[in-house]
Amino acid sequence: MATLAHENTTVVLGIPIPSADPVFLAIVGVHVLLGFAAVVSGAVAMLSSKGHGRHSNFGTVYFWCVFGVFITMSALSFMRWAANYPLFILGALSFCAAGLGRTAARRHWKQWLRLHLVGMGASYILMLTAFYVDNGRNLPLWRKLPDLAFWFVPSAVGVPLIFYALYRHPLVRAFNRSRGRAERSTRI
């Protein structure tokens, strides 16, 4: 960790941290750990067989990590509002989307499976977007991209995957078939 003499900036692993204040750095440390845990647990949940067990356990870890990221991000944003309000908006949207996805699944709302999939997928995309908007210009390969790419590449990759899952995933297809049968039986 090095502190730049001309600014109150600390550099960690090549990424500038905009303050050398120990409280700010402590919050950043917790934020990074929670963010990493959210990325990993979210990926494990997405790639696991759906239902109770691994998927729901890692999904729960993901939700609470996103909550922690939202709390630490809020503190960091309020400390540097002028520079970080877009990150606050992305973080708030990510947490709200995760909350929607989790609540839809837990309460089995009408269309809960679709709402769960879209909510959790959107949460993951928004979380990655915030990361790249904040850090993209300091990352290998990403630094060669225009700043606008940091806003749109996560969605360009994630949204088609969400649509694919909505129309091709076996659990969603089974849900659609059972709903179609239920609708036909109520018409008779």
C-beta separation of 115 from 101 below 8 A: yes
- Ranges of each domain in the chain: 2-187
C-beta separation of 72 from 26 below 8 A: no
**pLDDT on residue 158:** 97
CA dihedral sign of residues 74, 78, 84, 86:
positive
**pLDDT on residue 5:** 40
User: What digits encode the pLDDT tens for the residues 105-139?
Assistant: 999 998 899 999 999 999 999 999 999 999 888 88
Instruction: Give me the residues of the chain with pLDDT under 70, please.
Output: 1-9, 12-14, 170-188
**pLDDT on residue 177:** 66
Nearest to 24 by CA among 88, 85, 65, 76: 76
Alpha-carbon gap, residue 70 to 35, rounded angstroms: 9
Token output for 170? 């076996």
How far CA 37 is from CA of 15, 43, 45, in Å, comes to 19, 10, 12
**pLDDT on residue 83:** 86
